[in-house]
Structure 1
């Protein structure tokens, strides 16, 4: 490996980790905002921040990412489906944050791996290797533990269940995004951001949600811009140098970074059950990313 290649690889790893860190701020900061922002409006602001922000930086990042295959009219059905599932998933995830600890919801984000893989097996007949299957099983067990409110008296946490349903929606969306995989990812982010933002706004009107103060609105837009928009930009730049698989492996640290941030920013304290689930999530994530 030449020095320039090594430098490029190290830079790409840095991009992936920055992407993971930026997204890790979403659960704890959204948990703070959810006390003053209704769930659908929060979803709308986060995604509008993504769409509007990415539009502003598109000329620079588009040039850097060397992508020229733009969206086409034939992509509209796939985009509509992706936007629809994202509206449902984002609203449910915000509601889960309102009802549960940010650390728990962060770890349950790993269930998206399970949902994506199982749906790919069912609908696209993708092969699941022994290592991947074991990782999926371990993550599923950890998710069940996180969904429980206790050991001696087993009952389900509504917030945790909503988070799992949200990640299942994202898993389905990941499989639908296959048909858009060769398109300009920044254009996909912009269209998805604006579509989910406007769609969630329509939902908020039906729910008759009340708008928060201007300062809170700006805070939510900025969070969406960085945690979703800029995070995706760094993810794309990382893929350019080290590919999708390795970028995903480094990005897999995001839920665990979110847990740490939740402890520091929100003062959340883990239970013994959470500790067991955390260890299992780490083992399961390592097994999956190795595959």
Structure 2
């Protein structure tokens, strides 16, 4: 997959998720935070399973290897259960525009975890971009803490959601070669069912059918389709770079909050937006090229026969995009690349 297409996937995922934040904020007056988190993911799970069954003309296997399931279950726990709950709680204690910009912290935490724990390469532009985004987040949180329109509880809860999703992003990277719709649909179905049942068990009331349908539609687009595109981007860009492109989402959410919800941002908000914007720009303009060697690798994913896929098919020429188990032979070369599923070498 060409990096350009992977970047487009990441930006499209950011646009969908960014739009979902202020829309979820608007629904909080009619739905409890916990139940809303459940309905968002339930809409994602049910809708994507329906789409997958139509695409495959029935239920098909995931193609996920046995050793990948622990990573996937961990991603569901942090990204599908804990993350949405923390975000909905945070949205109930802060404005949609502030929460939208604070979601930039997800990219920072994603990159830090990828760099420190998963040994993904990050150069000086990625690090400087992280510093700028964190500085913007600190500005927003400090403003809230000195008594503007929110308390510090909301920003802290949004930051906790970002940490959960950062863990989720790094765990999902380990299974990103599998069917993206399967990953997104199962995560949505499990997370949505658990959150919805627990919310109803502690006394939450189910809203009007129209509100339920709206929440589920927002979840299908902002969580489900967005996650599919995010997984596709992970394959071609790696975790920290995908997180960097995805960090454009909060600016989309903030713009919608200001224009549709009538929020009046303060001077601190605009300063934070500029600082965070600089951080995002540093991430987006990063380039990486050097001599590198591919070790032998065997895996299963959708591909075409490019410079990294030169295996034989026998009678099948493999000219079109296709998926099957294949083996990569060692190769050394130099070209611009990202830490995708074929470039996870040491530096």
TM-score (normalised: structure 2)? 0.71
Distance (whole Å) between structure 2 residues aligned to residue 103 and residue 74 of structure 1 = 40
Q: Deviations over 1:80-121 (max 9, x none)?
A: 211111211101101111111111111111101111122223
Aligned residue number for residue 302 of structure 2: none
2:182 to 184, 187, 196: 187
- Does the CA contact (< 8 Å) of 2:93 and 2:151 recur in 1? no
The verdict on how the C-alpha distance between 1:90 and 1:136 changes in structure 2, with shifts beyond 3 A counting, is same
Distance (whole Å) between structure 2 residues aligned to residue 55 and residue 218 of structure 1 = 17
* Aligned: 1:284 with 2:283: no
Aligned residue number for residue 308 of structure 2: none
Aligned residue number for residue 70 of structure 1: 63
Instruction: Report which of the two has the higher share of helix.
Output: 1
Aligned residue number for residue 264 of structure 2: 269
Give the match's secondary structure for 2:143. coil
196-205 or 32-41, which moves further after superposition? 196-205
Distance (whole Å) between structure 1 residues aligned to residue 184 and residue 13 of structure 2 = 15
Give the match's secondary structure for 1:78. helix
Aligned residue number for residue 142 of structure 1: 136
RMSD: 3.1
Give the match's secondary structure for 1:79. helix
For structure 2, the 5+ residue unaligned runs are 287-347
Instruction: Report which of the two has the higher share of strand.
Output: 2
Give the match's secondary structure for 1:212. coil
1:52 to 43, 46, 54: 46
Aligned residue number for residue 21 of structure 1: 15
Give the match's secondary structure for 1:148. helix
Give the match's secondary structure for 1:231. helix
- Does the CA contact (< 8 Å) of 1:62 and 1:186 recur in 2? no
Higher RCO structure (Cα 8 Å, ≥6 apart): 1
281-290 or 115-124, which moves further after superposition? 115-124
The verdict on how the C-alpha distance between 1:177 and 1:248 changes in structure 2, with shifts beyond 3 A counting, is closer
Distance apart, 1:290 and its partner CA: 2.4
- Does the CA contact (< 8 Å) of 2:41 and 2:189 recur in 1? yes
Distance (whole Å) between structure 2 residues aligned to residue 60 and residue 236 of structure 1 = 20
- Does the CA contact (< 8 Å) of 2:93 and 2:154 recur in 1? yes
Distance (whole Å) between structure 2 residues aligned to residue 11 and residue 118 of structure 1 = 25
The verdict on how the C-alpha distance between 1:46 and 1:79 changes in structure 2, with shifts beyond 3 A counting, is same
Distance (whole Å) between structure 2 residues aligned to residue 31 and residue 95 of structure 1 = 10
Q: Deviations over 1:229-264 (max 9, x none)?
A: 233445567789xx4378766544322111111111
The verdict on how the C-alpha distance between 1:60 and 1:231 changes in structure 2, with shifts beyond 3 A counting, is farther
Give matches, 1:237-248, under 5 Å.
243-244=236-237
Give the match's secondary structure for 1:70. coil
The verdict on how the C-alpha distance between 1:127 and 1:258 changes in structure 2, with shifts beyond 3 A counting, is same
Distance (whole Å) between structure 2 residues aligned to residue 151 and residue 217 of structure 1 = 34
Aligned residue number for residue 5 of structure 1: none
- Structure number with greater Rg is 2
The verdict on how the C-alpha distance between 1:11 and 1:59 changes in structure 2, with shifts beyond 3 A counting, is farther
Q: Deviations over 1:24-60 (max 9, x none)?
A: 2211110111111111111111111111111222256
Distance apart, 1:165 and its partner CA: 0.9
Q: State the number of aligned residues.
A: 279
The verdict on how the C-alpha distance between 1:62 and 1:18 changes in structure 2, with shifts beyond 3 A counting, is farther
